Every structure is written in structure tokens, then in C-alpha cells.
Structure 1
Amino acid sequence: MIFILLLIYCTSLGTAFEMKSIFCSISDSCDCDFKPDKKGLEWDLYKNLYGQHMAQDIVSEAVVNSLQNENPDRPLVLSFHGASGTGKSLVSSMIGRHIYGTAMGSPYIHQFIPTLHFPSADRVQQYRSDLKHWVERNLTACARSIFIFDEMEKMPPGVIDVLEPHFGPFHVLFQTNYRKAIYIFISTVGQEVINKVALESRQAGRDREDILPKELEDSIANAVYNKKNSGFYHSRIITEKLITRFVPFLPLLRRHVERCAQRELCQRGECQRADVVSSVGGAMTYTPNNSQYFSSTGCKLVPAKVNLFL
């Protein structure tokens, strides 16, 4: 009799746990600390992301629309492209911070770095299996999970394709609405296309803010599809148009670098040091050599330069 009662009790606990898991997965409640601050994200993008009008507009609209939709037909898949130091990782951190209140500290934000997680090109099949199970397990724990794949130019071809079914409208995962997830890919592939358009626009006397996403998105998609030995090489994710938006990050001008330096100084309580701001801007390398338009490293070296001149 005691055994039977114990069995009933345990079965009840298991059923209750399963029901709770299903409820949490579809309702964004319980242990999934989903607390989106949409206005905060919009403000952060426009206040702290310099020289990236396209990224500001695309990310703000796409993320807010995704968060407002309680029953999306597919997950939000964003692919960030541009040179180093132009703000791609910064925007990823902003998204995490304004959805879960922390940049990368939430258990529902998952970052993958190819050189760390997928270092060997001859282990693609193992990586595919591991990645599929990892993503599905975390989606079951939280439907609003965020997955960030950095340095896609170093990802072995074929690994990321295992997630193709998860990006479309038909795939179903038990106990979760997988379509509420957000995927972010970060890559320098496509920077040549972006920089070329930015340079031609400047040389023609055209305002930087007049460059439109439609001038770049198809060229970026073509570049990443044909880039050998990189994550999206000949990927069906590209041919099936499963990327929600390609987000171009333009090369930065000296004034943008100096704004990064000013922000860095203010974070250190040294807002008044205009001399350091000017010195940092002057110490950077700019391209093309005959015109000195764009910072070669964006804002990436700003903290080190601020240390040098303080």
C-alpha cells in the first residue's frame, strides 16, 4: 500500500512538473526571466551606437516587432555584417541587456565562438549533433532564448545548417514555441561590399544617412553565400531566405571614433578631457590612404588609446 501511494505521489509530481514545463515554455513565465524593455533598447541604440543609422533602424524595428508578437510565424534571425569595431557585438549586448536585464549573464542568452566551440573542420558531424541538441534543450527550458554566433567567418561550413529547420515556420519542438527565439549571427564577411558603397557614397558627396539597406542586403547575402571556409558557405539558410534581416554596419569616421572616446572617458569620470578625445581621434589609422575617411579598426582600440593619453 505504501509503495502504491508513493508511486501515485511521484507520478503526480512528474505530471505537475511536465505541465509546469509546458506552461513555462508557451507563456514566457516561470523561470524564464523575460522582461523586455523595448523603449530602453530603442533609446540605447540611438544614444550609444554611433554612425550606424541602418543598424539602429533595422534592429529596433525587428526586435520590437518580434517581442510584441505573442505568436510569431518564425523566429527572429538577424545577421550582422561589417568591419571590426563598428558595433556588432555592442548591439548584441544591448539586445540581451534590454530583454533579460544583463548583457551576457543570463542563462537564457547563449554565445558560440567557432574557435572555442567548433575549432576543428573535420568534426562537423559531431558539432552538428551537439549544436542541435544544445539549442533544442535550451529552447525547451525557455522559448525566448537568445543564441549569438560570433565570428561566423571562422565557422566550419555545414555546422550551422543543422539549424535550418528551426528557422522556418514548420518545425515543431515538443514543449516549446520555438518561433519566439532570437538568433544573431556576427561576421566580418561582407565588409568589402559595405565599405565600397560607403566610400562611393562619400566621394559622390552623398550624406551617409542616405545609404539604404536595400542597396546592400542582396550583395551581403551573395558575399556570405560564396565565402569559402566560412559558416554560411553554400548554405540553404541563405538560399531559402531564412535570415530575417541582414544588418550592415558602416565603417566609422573620425567623429564617431571620438564619440566612442568621449563615452569611454565619461565612464571613467573624465568627461571634461577634450584633449584626450582629440588625441585618440588623431592616433587612429584611417583608410583609404589617400583620403583618410574611415577608421581601420572602428572603435575597437579606443579603450587602449584612452589609457595611453590619460
Structure 2
Amino acid sequence: MLAALCILVLLSFCPALCVFQKLYCSFSDSCDCDFRPNIRDLEWDIYKNVFGQHLVQDIVSEEVVKFLQNKNPDRPLVLSFHGSSGTGKTLVSSMLGTHLFASAMSSPYVHQFVATLHFPVPHRVQQYRRELKSWVQGNLTECAHSIFIFDEMERMPAGLVDVLEPFLGPSHVVFYTNYRKAVYVFISSTGEEVINRAALENRQSGQEREAIALADLEDAIAQAAYNNHTSGFFQSSIIQQKLITRFVPFLPLSRRHVERCVLSQLCQRGHCGRSDVVDAVGRDVAFHPVQGQYFSTTGCKAVSAKIDLFL
């Protein structure tokens, strides 16, 4: 209705009315801003294409559903993904953008930051803080449902993400911005030692992988991120103020998980029947520890290149 009215009064009132529309959009679910959540497809995508991650499947689905069902949340959804390379952290973050916006990851309301690309010089942290705060506030004014993804948090300059604290808590007010409907995702390898140790102990004790619970890991991951002086979360007020909704552990992948990745990618290429390639890639992947060879050192990250080699 606002868009139609804007056209009717284009010559005299359009600039003011369109500004009002943007403000209205930030406070209302009635505006477009490309937000088209498809929770069923999100849940199916996670369960079908994220291998060996029962905690991720349960936590992400549960938290996203709970967040979106609340029409007036008191704070944004803040997820922090932790684990080794190739375990699915970036994949799951892209699934969020894909299934929450009509334009998927190409939506102008999905914002991705990579530490080594966007914040490469540690001594410029104050400049980065000003720019990041302005960027986030400006884009939240455009669309309250914006997603902000921060990758390589283990390489992020310490203190930078703390500028986001006013946008993450329940008690702050940011002028002209409904910041409580946004989603933030932090991606980091920090805490992988804690996660991998728990997975190894679980495997050596002969327990089912699904016996590993979030309660066994979440506090330890938070402490690892907070105390790691090379982490972007080092002594972070975001952790101290408990502004992260969930620390999500990504477990290391066994050979059978890697082989499922291989089979999935083969099927996407039209070669579902190539079990010989699945076996060849599985044998070529490096596993650790030396005794036991339980977990892949690279997860599914190098699978595509290895498929090219054996296909």
C-alpha cells in the first residue's frame, strides 16, 4: 500500500514518503525487503546435506524456528559456529541466507564479512569499528531482518566485534532501527581443540556419537573463545554479557561422513553410481590421530578437488 501511495504522489511527496516507507519497513513485517523464510526447506537442507552434525541439526533448526515464530523478539538471534575446517560451518551459514530470503545468498540483506579480507590490518581497529557500526545500523534501517555473517573470527582483530554490543542486547535502543529481528552468525575455528577432544573421548569410550550433548561443550567453547588472545572474541563484552544465543559445536568428521560428502557431490554431477570414486577419495583423505585414524584432518573441504582427481 505504501509503495502504491508513493507512486500516486510521486511529483510532490515521494521522497519523504519513501523515507517513511524504509522506516516503516524496519519496524514491520508487512514490508518486502526480500524476506521469505522457508523453515521446512531449511530444516530439510540441514538434515539432508550436513553430515555427522546432530548438534548443529538440532540447535540451528530449533533456534531459527523459535526466533521466527516470535513476532516481537526482545533480542536478535546470535549464533556462533565453532569447529575444525571442513565440518560445515560456512555451508550452514549459507543455508540460512538461502532459505530466509527470496534472492538467497545474493540478497542485498545478507551481509558477509571475512576477517582477512575486510579487516586485514589490526592497528586500524578503531576505523573498522566506526565503519562496521555505521554499516550495520544503516542496513538494519533498510531491513530489520538483515543477516550479518562474520567469518574467520579466529583472525578478527580483538575488540572489533564489541562495537556490535548495542545491537545484540535486549535493553539497548538504536535510533530509527528495529535491530531485534536481525540474525548474526559468527564462524570460527576457535574451540576446535575442546570439540575434537570431546569427540575423541566419545569415540574411544565406544559411545554413540549422538551421546555428545551441547551441555558438554557450550561453556567450554565460550571460555576458549574468550581467553584466546588471537581470537576476535578475546575478552569480548559480547561473551561477557552473554549476548550469544548459542555456541554451536561442529564435530570432526569420520571417514563415513566424508564418503557421504563425496557421494552427495557425485550425485550433483550426475555420477551417483561411482562407488569406486567414493572409496578412492575415502582412502586418500588424511585422518587423525595417528593411532585410530578416527577423524578427517580437512573434513569435506578438499573433497571436490579429490573427486576431480579420481573421476
TM (normalized to structure 2)? Answer: 0.95
> After the TM superposition, which of the residue ranges 170-179 and 69-78 deviates more from structure 2?
170-179
CA contact (8 A) 2:137 2:177 kept: no
What displacement does 1:172 show?
2.0
CA contact (8 A) 1:216 1:248 kept: yes
- 1:81 is matched with which residue? 82
Q: Find the residue that maps to 1:58 and give its secondary structure.
A: helix
What displacement does 1:25 show?
1.4
Note the alpha carbon deviations across 1:210-230, whole angstroms, 9 max, x for none: 100000000000000011122
What displacement does 1:66 show?
1.2
- 1:280 is matched with which residue? 281
Q: Find the residue that maps to 1:169 and give its secondary structure.
A: coil
Distance 2:214 2:151 in 1: 22
State, as a whole percentage, how many aligned pairs show the same letter. Answer: 63
- 2:45 is matched with which residue? 44
What displacement does 1:188 show?
0.2
How do 1:141-156 and structure 2 match up within 5 A? 141-156=142-157
What displacement does 1:16 show?
1.5
Distance 1:146 1:13 in 2: 28
Distance 1:46 1:154, change over 3 A: same
Asked whether 1:193 is paired with 2:197, we answer no
How do 1:205-216 and structure 2 match up within 5 A? 205-216=206-217
Distance 1:14 1:173 in 2: 23
Distance 2:217 2:257 in 1: 21
- 2:94 is matched with which residue? 93
Distance 1:102 1:301, change over 3 A: farther
- 2:63 is matched with which residue? 62
Distance 2:15 2:192 in 1: 52
1:261 maps to amino acid: V
What displacement does 1:119 show?
0.5
Distance 1:248 1:207 in 2: 17
CA contact (8 A) 2:23 2:142 kept: no
What displacement does 1:11 show?
6.8
Distance 2:298 2:274 in 1: 22
- 1:134 is matched with which residue? 135
Distance 1:103 1:227 in 2: 34
1:249 maps to amino acid: F
CA contact (8 A) 1:25 1:176 kept: yes
- 1:4 is matched with which residue? none
> After the TM superposition, which of the residue ranges 99-108 and 298-307 deviates more from structure 2?
99-108
CA contact (8 A) 2:166 2:174 kept: no
Distance 1:11 1:218 in 2: 57
Distance 1:49 1:228 in 2: 31
What displacement does 1:64 show?
1.2
What displacement does 1:14 show?
3.7
What displacement does 1:22 show?
2.2
What displacement does 1:10 show?
7.1
Distance 1:232 1:105 in 2: 28
What displacement does 1:29 show?
3.9
What displacement does 1:26 show?
1.7
Q: Find the residue that maps to 1:184 and give its secondary structure.
A: strand
Distance 2:200 2:279 in 1: 24
- 2:261 is matched with which residue? 260
- 1:271 is matched with which residue? 272
- 2:121 is matched with which residue? 120
What displacement does 1:28 show?
3.2
> After the TM superposition, which of the residue ranges 130-139 and 13-22 deviates more from structure 2?
13-22
Q: Find the residue that maps to 2:175 and give its secondary structure.
A: coil
Distance 1:151 1:207 in 2: 31
Distance 2:28 2:135 in 1: 21
Provide structure 2 residue ranges, at least 5 long, that are not aligned to the other structure. Answer: 1-8
CA contact (8 A) 1:139 1:181 kept: yes
CA contact (8 A) 1:108 1:142 kept: yes
CA contact (8 A) 1:76 1:182 kept: yes
2:64 maps to amino acid: V
Q: RMSD in angstroms over aligned alpha carbons?
A: 1.4
Asked whether 1:13 is paired with 2:14, we answer yes
- 2:235 is matched with which residue? 234
Distance 2:102 2:304 in 1: 24
Distance 2:137 2:23 in 1: 14
Q: Find the residue that maps to 1:199 and give its secondary structure.
A: helix
- 1:109 is matched with which residue? 110
Distance 2:177 2:70 in 1: 16
1:216 maps to amino acid: L
Distance 1:243 1:84 in 2: 22
Provide structure 1 residue ranges, at least 5 long, that are not aligned to the other structure. Answer: 1-7
Distance 1:53 1:229 in 2: 29
Q: Post-superposition, which runs of at least 4 consecutive aligned residues in structure 1 deviate over 4 A? A: 8-11
What displacement does 1:171 show?
2.0
